[in-house]
Amino acid sequence: MLYDLNIAWSPGLSSSDLESTLRLSKTLGYDVVALNQTITGPRIPNQPAPITNPIPLLSPPHPSYPASSAITTTSTTSSSSLPPKSLPTILRRATLEITDPSTTNYRLSDFVRAYDLLALRPTSDKSFTWACNGTTDPPALISLDLTRPLGYHIHHRTAMAAVHRGSRFEICYSQAIRLSPSNPESARARSIFIGNVQSLLRATKGRGIVISSEAKSALGLRGPADVVNLMAVWGLGPEKGFEAMGAGARAVVVNEGVRRRGFRGVVDIVKVAEGGPEKPKPEEGEDTNGNGKQGKKQQKQKGGSNGQQQQQGQGQQSGQKRKNNDKAGRIGGGGGGGGGQQKPNKKMRKEGKA
């Protein structure tokens, strides 16, 4: 299965454009996609108010998520007009642009409960370090705007600390594709994008990478083979490229599902064990095999006859041993010359008389 965990969504997006984008992603081979709502710093709520999810529900929940994940939503698009067979499985995601982490940390748990996936987009060195190491719960994804100069160096220890915590770094290839080649600013942004991708791959050594599109329309989508070839040019091998869209992205979805379905994100009850058919209790006079009193008597008689046969066989063997010992003693006494008394010969008697 292939995953695209970032398709841009906004409240002003028309249902026809959204439908065409989702159908094209299904045609290209993506089985699971995520509609992403980007929330900038000023729009992140700081007051302790409930957070609602405005992204519409267009498909049944993912099998990894509980059925109760359909929490409060202010849907503006009806899902009845979109046939489910032509659409992939759709998740709902939020991306928070973080500049000052001190005003956002305590609201992350609320966003986790409201959305299926939560991603952080740090815009400074302080927020990047906080997203990798300082959050109470590790975010599912750390998504960077690679078309702008980061202003800081991605260190290997910081990046691998985030990977070991369970977070994944996201590379959105549509950030470079949607830039027009005729514009000099776009060419500059594309070169910055390639340099940032290479620095991220150098820091992580290709581990913990998830490839998404961040397509704002159907024109921003590309097939899996095209994306893998493009990432191979930028420094990511083909095997890790397919893994970034398959097994790596699936691990993010499954871990987030267990986090919401299991107890404290650690213990997950898959299925309650069921007992087998109970055996009937033996009645009085019956053993565990179902034999009654007559069966016990027959067993005793069989046991007694077997014991008598064994005793007779042992007696015959002991008698044969005694006979063999007697024969051996007689033969040994005759040949030993003095071992036993012998009768005098006739010649010896005649010589004695003479």
Query: What is the per-residue pLDDT across 147-204, written as a single tens digit (0 to 9) for each?
Result: 999 888 999 999 999 999 999 999 999 998 887 666 777 888 889 999 999 999 999 9
Query: What is the percentage of the chain residues whose pLDDT exceeds 90?
Result: 42
* Token output for 274: 């069921």
Q: What is the pLDDT of residue 58?
A: 82
Cα distance between the two ends of the chain: 125
**What are the residues whose beta carbons fall under 8 Å from the beta carbon of 84, sequence distance 6 or more?**
59, 60
Q: What is the pairing mode between strands 89-98 and 209-212?
A: unpaired
Reply yes or no on whether the pLDDT at 306 is more than 60. no
**Dist. CA 232–CA 253, nearest whole Å:** 25
CB atoms within 10 A of CB 118: 20
- pLDDT, the chain, mean: 77
pLDDT tens column, 310-324: 555 565 666 565 656
Q: What is the pLDDT of residue 76?
A: 40
CA nearest to 208, candidates 236, 233, 244: 244
Reply yes or no on whether the pLDDT at 11 is more than 70. yes
**Dist. CA 295–CA 283, nearest whole Å:** 14
Cα distances from 283 to residues 8, 216, 276, 286, 288, in angstroms, run: 72, 75, 21, 6, 9
**Dist. CA 1–CA 30, nearest whole Å:** 7
**Dist. CA 313–CA 307, nearest whole Å:** 10
**Dist. CA 224–CA 241, nearest whole Å:** 9
pLDDT tens column, 253-286: 998 888 877 665 556 666 665 665 555 555 555 5
Confidence tier at 338 by pLDDT (50, 70, 90): very low
| Residue pair 220/172 in contact by the 8 Å Cβ criterion | no
Q: What is the pTM of this model?
A: 0.70
- H or E stretch including 225? helix 224-234
